[in-house]
Each structure stands twice: as C-alpha cells, then as structure tokens.
Amino acid sequence: MRAGHAAVRDRDLPFPAELRLCLLNPLHGPASATRRLELPGEGSARARPVCSACAAALAARDSASEVQSAVHVVQTVGARLLCLRASGSGRLAAREPYHRVPGPLGARHGTGRGASLTADQIVRRVREQLGVH
C-alpha cells in the first residue's frame, strides 16, 4: 500500500519491480533492514526483510538479557505480524498469519530470505486472481 502511494506520489523516481516488502506485514511497505526471526509454525530463525518501523520495534533493549531479548522478539512478531481469515471463512474463523492464507499475499515457496514478497509479485497475483492480463 505504502509502496503504491510512494510510486504515485513520486512519479519521477524509478520504482523497482523487485522492491522487497516487510515480511511481518507487506502493507507496511518496503523492507529497509533484515532481522533474524522465527515466524509462528516455522522451525528456525532466519534473516528476513522488515520495514524500518518493525526493525525499530524488534530492537532489543541494551540492558536486556538474552532471554528477555528473545521474549521481546516473540512478542513483537506476534503483535506486528499480519493475520487474516481465509477467503470465504466465517466471522468466527481463526485468523492465520498472512503467508499461510491462500491469495495474493500467500507465500507459495516459503518465507525465507530468498522468498521474500515483492510489490511486483503482489500485482501479478492480483491480476491472475481477477483474470486481468
């Protein structure tokens, strides 16, 4: 969303098709940093692209112990991760992390560093879903 607004606002600036988006919530816009994160339901922490706001929220306090830092990261990921209901599910359906829900934001090939979502991928997926080519 922010990436789209930026492209419209700054028409004279080039808009990279491979713009990496924040892995915690692609609606946050472009990723500006990477952080070691473990997403819910995934086995191990890996370097993942995040926006500047998420990077700041994930920053551990200087005086925090290793355990306190780990708890802080888990709580921050839980609070900032975009969760959605599957299309067609009822209002009482549980929300799932966006990358697990089928649709334009779904992570078809995992959520590792090399599989981060780009603005171009979202546009192509929405066009496919709507039958617009």
pLDDT of residue 133: 66
pLDDT of residue 57: 92
Note the pLDDT tens digit of each residue in 49-77: 999 999 999 986 656 788 888 888 889 99
pLDDT of residue 113: 44
pLDDT of residue 52: 94
Report the DSSP pairing between strands 83-84 and 96-97. Answer: antiparallel
Tens digits of pLDDT across the chain (133 residues): 555 555 445 545 554 556 788 989 988 989 999 998 888 877 788 888 999 999 999 986 656 788 888 888 889 998 999 988 877 777 788 888 888 887 777 765 555 444 567 777 777 878 887 777 6
